[in-house]
Structure 1
Amino acid sequence: MTLPPGFDSKGATKVCKLQKSLYGLKQASRKWFAKFSSTLISHGFIQSKADYSLFTRSQGSSFIALLVYVDDIVIASNDISAVSAFTVFLHSVFSLKDLGPLKYFLGLEVARSDKGIVVSQRKYALDILEDSGVLGAKPVLFPMDPNIKLSRSDGELLSDPSSYRRLVGRLVYLTITRPDLSFSVQMLSQFMDSPRKPHMDDASRVLRYLKSSPGQGIFFPSASDLKLKAFCDSDWAGCPDTRRSVTGFCVFLGDSLVSWKSKKQHTVSPAEAEYRSMAAVTCEITWLLALLRDLQLPHPDAALVFCDSQVAIHIAANPVYHECTKHIELDCHIVREKIDQGIIRTLHVKSAHQLADLMTKALHRPVFQGLLSKMNVLDLFHSS
């Protein structure tokens, strides 16, 4: 920063001592959050250990949950009068602007009705299509061709890789509400250092798929139980360069899809790959259970984990170390620990009904659309 007028003089070597953090400094966000969180805690809120951006307060039958991202705040409660009194208190300490019922937050569009809530990123998706110049392109009905295997060495290097990196980076943020894009974006993200023409062609296909349903999002039904169930899967050495597998899982709270993931593993063993995918979803369920406790939603029953690998289920249930499982790292055996504690219960599901296939491999249209419909993913703007 520069000294204010009147403080500088020729040959002087003075500095300014800041009494408080100024907006725009790299320390400002940390100072703001510390100030905001201490104010909430002094007002009876409890900071979640599962998510430090979540604060909750329970007073009798009144419950308030507050989620903060920098200076954007979302408040949910079963008591409107308590929320009104709390916003008055916040306004007395900070300068706030009440934007009313939640409709748009960090690029997420929220639509609600008596049947439930739909969260999508339609405007963000249309912005990506417009910036990429594909609004006039012919749409496709599934994002990635199952017959194509992307490799790091095939095709000509792009002369300007920055456009590919920017596009994939924007698509990554779009997967917040688009589980149908998770596998495709995960594949495209592996070639950010040296993208080639086939990689850009596949990214263009993802954009053409996005054009077919830019308003697609997740539906959270209002009439649903609050029981956790999960599907986990892995492919079999699908990467042509490293022969490594991809972990995929999706977690439901009742009929609502609340968490999903698609990520390449560090192993090439088929049995270990399936078991690692089960370990990954077990960690996610453990975190979600802690989050549900903070939201005062008890979950006394064991969460159900569906896997189409009998071998992985056997490894998780059998405490005896076999010759073929000695190489599996100890961190993976969290599955067995959580089963013993009654936190999860593993069940077998036929491969034809494995929803996590959407996260581990490219699928043809009938299978892709069928699995997507079971995840309560829909497009409010699609005319049927």
Structure 2
Amino acid sequence: MVELGFVQSKADYSLFTKQTEFGFTALLVYVDNLILAGNDLGEINAVKTVLDDRFKIKDIGDLKFFIGMEVARSKEGILLNQRKYAMDILKDASFENCKPASTLMDYSTELNKTKGVLLSNSTEYQKLVGKLLYLTNTRPDISFAIGKLSQYLDHPTTSHLSAVHRILKYIKASPATGIVFSTTSDLCVIGFADSDWAACPDSRRSVTAYCFYIGSALVSWKSKKQVTVACSSAEAEY
């Protein structure tokens, strides 16, 4: 790809981009699967020809499914979700027929290391949290809750398992929820950041969260516990 004039991304080594006077082209690599996109059809066809000469690739057409993510197009834009993956999680956990929940956490109950009875076998809990972590690629609404429950992987209790089951019920209510990239959106970058105050009862550390939009499309988000214990009660919001 570098020989063809593409530049390898420093943020993601699997991403290659090329900007010319005729348009922009991007290529994303995952093992032996490729996504090729852009607004220069000539460049796209040229890249496909070179790749076919080198590796004998198979063009399967417009992108619809990629490593568990589904892509749906319309005149309004593109929807990226993981509906099938979410339904598979519910089925594996025997929650496909559960009663949906409107909220993903019981905010009146505080989770900590000692709350509940220690599970005799933590495998079920660990598997569920691991699967839900991958779902956060298109479900930023569950990022905070999954990050919270990930802190108890080494010693989960019945209370933590019940919290995971609550998230499954929340997903059951809207398994096709995802990220929308509108065709009418501008390219204005908007960001939000916030933090709580010593919310973790075990470490007394705060949680920082942020999200960034390009137009109306959410492109980057994170919810993470801070690495140090703050000694000030001052709160900053942007």
Per the shorter chain, which TM-score range? Answer: over 0.9
Residue 130 in 1 paired to residue 94 in 2?
no
Match of 1:207 in 2: 168
- Residue 125 of structure 2 corresponds to which residue in structure 1? 164
2:132 corresponds to 1:176: no
Residue pair 1:137, 1:208 contacting (<8 A) in 2 also = yes
Task: State the SS of the aligned residue for 2:2.
Answer: helix
- The alpha-carbon deviation at position 195 of structure 1 amounts to 0.4
TM-score, structure 2 normalization: 0.95
Contact kept in structure 2, 1:237 and 1:270, CA below 8 Å? no
User: How many angstroms does 1:98 deviate by?
Assistant: 0.9
Compared CA separation, residues 274 and 172, structure 1 to 2 (3 A): farther
Equivalents in 1 of 2:179, 2:84: separation in Å? 15
Determine if contact 2:197/2:206 at 8 Å carries over to the other structure.
yes
How well do the aligned residues superpose, as a CA RMSD in angstroms?
Answer: 1.6
Between 162-171 and 50-59, report the one with greater CA deviation: 50-59
CA distance in structure 2 between the partners assigned to 1:173 and 1:273 by the alignment? 34
| Rounded Cα–Cα distance in structure 2 between residues aligned with 1:205 and 1:211 | 10
Alignment correspondent of 1:71 = 32
List per-residue Cα deviations over 1:274-333 (Å, max 9, x = no partner). 56xxxxxxxxxxxxxxxxxxxxxxxxxxxxxxx35xxxxxxxxxxxxxxxxxxxxxxxxx
- How far is the alpha carbon of 1:271 from its aligned partner? 5.0
Residue 62 of structure 1: CA displacement? 3.5
| Gapped regions of structure 1 (runs ≥ 5) | 1-39, 276-306, 309-384
Q: If each structure's strand is expressed as a fraction of its own residues, which one has the higher value?
A: 2
SS state at 1:181 partner: helix
Bigger radius of gyration among the two:
1
Contact 1:234 1:273 in 2 (8 A): no
The separation in 2 between residues aligned to 1:191 and 1:123, in whole angstroms, is 27
Matched, 1:53 2:14: yes
Matching residue of 2:74: 113
**Structure 2 alignment gaps of length 5 or more:** none
* Aligned residue number for residue 224 of structure 1: 185
Q: Which amino acid aligns with 2:146?
A: V
Which amino acid counterpart does residue 102 of structure 2 have in structure 1? L
Where do 1:73-92 residues align within 5 Å?
73-92=34-53
CA contact (8 A) 2:83 2:177 kept: yes
Distance 1:228 1:272 in 2: 30
Letter in 2 for 1:206: I
Q: Distance in 2 between matches of 1:62 and 1:202?
A: 48
Q: Amino acid of the residue matched to residue 136 of structure 2?
A: T
Is 1:246 matched up with 2:207? yes
Q: Percent identity?
A: 50
Structure 1 residue runs of 4 or more that deviate by more than 3 Å after TM superposition: 270-275
| 1: CA distance, partners of 2:186 / 2:232 | 33
Quick one: distance in 2 between partners of 1:198 and 1:43?
A: 55
Query: Separation in 2 of the partners of 1:162 and 1:92?
Result: 46
Matched, 1:42 2:12: no
Instruction: Give 1:267 deviation, angstroms.
Output: 3.2
Specify the SS of the correspondent of 1:41: coil
Aligned residues: 238
CA distance in 1, matches of 2:43, 2:124: 48
Partner secondary structure for residue 210 of structure 2 = strand
State the distance in 2 between where 1:255 and 1:199 align: 34
Give the distance between the partners of 1:196 and 1:185, measured in 2 at CA.
Answer: 15
The question of 1:194 aligning with 2:144 is answered no
Amino acid in the other structure paired with 1:72: N
CA contact (8 A) 1:182 1:262 kept: yes
Q: Is residue 197–residue 233 contact of structure 2 (8 Å, CA) maintained in 1?
A: no
Moved more, 256-265 or 121-130: 256-265
How far 1:49 sits from its partner (Å)?
2.4
Kindly indicate whether the alpha-carbon contact (under 8 Å) linking 1:245 and 1:273 is maintained by their aligned counterparts in 2: no
Conserved? CA contact 1:267–1:273, under 8 Å: no
Provide the TM-score with structure 1 as the length reference.
0.60
Look up the match of 1:152.
113
